[in-house]
Amino acid sequence: TRTLAYAGVNVCSPDGYGRFDLPIALGVLLASGQVAPPHASPLDVRDYVLAGELSLTGAVMPVGAPLAIALGVAGSLPVRTLILPQQGAGLAAHVPGVQILAARSLRQVVDHFSAAKMLPEAVPVPLAPRQDPVYCMSEVRGQGTARRVLELAASGTHSLLLVGAPGTGKSLLAHRLPGLLPELAHSQALEVAALGALAGDGNNAFGLQPPFRAPHHSSSVPALIGGGINPQPGEISRAHRGGLFLDELPEFKRSVIESMREPLETGQLAIARAVRTMVFPSDFQLVAAMNPCPGGWAG
């Protein structure tokens, strides 16, 4: 800790401690005098954030969720330069307001801070579209009142409960919600892509259509709100900027339903563990459906 405090190196690790390798190594080199300290170097390491694993050869290995790291730097720190492994830096380069530098080895990082050879700026790589099905309201026949209510809910981001007998079109209507919502702004789409990457969808699942999640009623609390030793986003956070559909609402466990109270009120979700607390954005629109009674035909 004293070494890092002396070096002034910022560290960022969304999913594991190996991401501290690069800043720790630079801190040791600074403390031992092998790299010029901040007051003697033309570049001040305190103006940088670094994340990367190191192999035994000194190569900088890829880190998980580079989009999440870059968004964290852009949203919470005064530092505006981020050094990442070359593999993944191109994804992070899509985040505005942050300069992304790509490093292949520890030697390149040392040369950068010694002003011997500057690190190259990362070039954004193409983002593959998120493969979500698109349903259109024009496919619905009749249901004029229900369609109007769904449109009003979409325009005001209101939560909605659909109650009716089996086969009346509750799920059909609910799945048309994303088609009524406006396209995401580029920055919002990056948030959704970063959350998907943290949940294991891949780093390039990018799309302007709002996400729509429909977990089964047997889903557990961790599946809905997230969790794990290294906490990952659950269905609530993966519905961020979009819709969350709970079909057969009374069949969900009460603990699952109660777990949505805070995210609905605050728009974010904090998962606490013994060593740290992770906060995931969870600004979603809730749509639920249910039968009027267990048999489905009351009234």
Helix H or strand E segment including 268: strand 268-272
Q: Which pLDDT belongs to residue 45? A: 81
Q: Judge whether 91 and 100 are in contact, CB under 8 Å.
A: no
Q: Judge whether 132 and 138 are in contact, CB under 8 Å.
A: no
Q: Is 243 helix (H, G, I), strand (E, B) or coil?
A: strand
Which residue in the block uniquely carries the two structure tokens 């089964």? 216
Q: Which pLDDT belongs to residue 2? A: 33
Among residues 227, 235, 237, which one has the least CA distance to residue 266?
A: 237
Q: Judge whether 69 and 63 are in contact, CB under 8 Å.
A: yes
* Cβ-based neighbour number of residue 2 at 10 Å: 8
Q: Judge whether 285 and 243 are in contact, CB under 8 Å.
A: yes
Q: Which pLDDT belongs to residue 14? A: 45
Query: b/e per residue, 260-295, with b = 16+ CB within 10 A?
Result: beebeeeeebebeeeeeebebbbbbbbbbbbbeeee
Q: Which pLDDT belongs to residue 39? A: 61
Q: Which pLDDT belongs to residue 13? A: 43
Q: Which pLDDT belongs to residue 7? A: 38
Q: Which pLDDT belongs to residue 4? A: 37
Q: How far, in Å, are 100, 128, 224, 275, 286 from residue 64 at the CA level?
A: 16, 17, 22, 20, 30
Q: Which pLDDT belongs to residue 41? A: 63
Distance between the two ends of the chain, CA-based, in angstroms?
67
Q: Which residues pair with 103 in a beta bridge?
A: 85
Rounded CA separation 55/162 (Å): 54
Q: Which pLDDT belongs to residue 17? A: 56
Q: Which pLDDT belongs to residue 214? A: 94
Tokens representing 100 are: 């992304």
Tokens representing 264 are: 């609905």
**What's the one-letter identity of residue 95?**
V
Q: Which pLDDT belongs to residue 230? A: 77
What pTM was computed for the model? 0.81
pLDDT, tens digit only, all 299 positions of the chain: 333 333 344 444 444 556 788 999 998 988 888 877 666 666 778 788 999 999 989 999 988 888 888 988 887 767 779 999 998 899 899 999 899 999 999 999 999 988 888 999 999 988 777 777 778 888 888 888 999 999 999 999 999 999 999 999 999 999 999 989 999 998 899 999 888 888 877 655 788 889 999 999 999 999 999 887 778 899 999 999 999 999 999 999 999 999 999 999 999 988 887 777 888 999 999 999 999 998 888 87
Q: Judge whether 81 and 97 are in contact, CB under 8 Å.
A: no
Side by side, which strands form the sheet with 285-290? 160-163, 285-290, 243-246, 212-213
Long-range contact list for 221-230, CB < 8 A, 24+ apart?
A: 221/253, 221/255, 221/256, 221/259, 224/256, 224/259, 224/260, 225/259, 225/260, 225/263, 225/269, 225/271, 226/269, 226/271, 226/278, 226/280, 227/271, 229/273, 230/15, 230/16
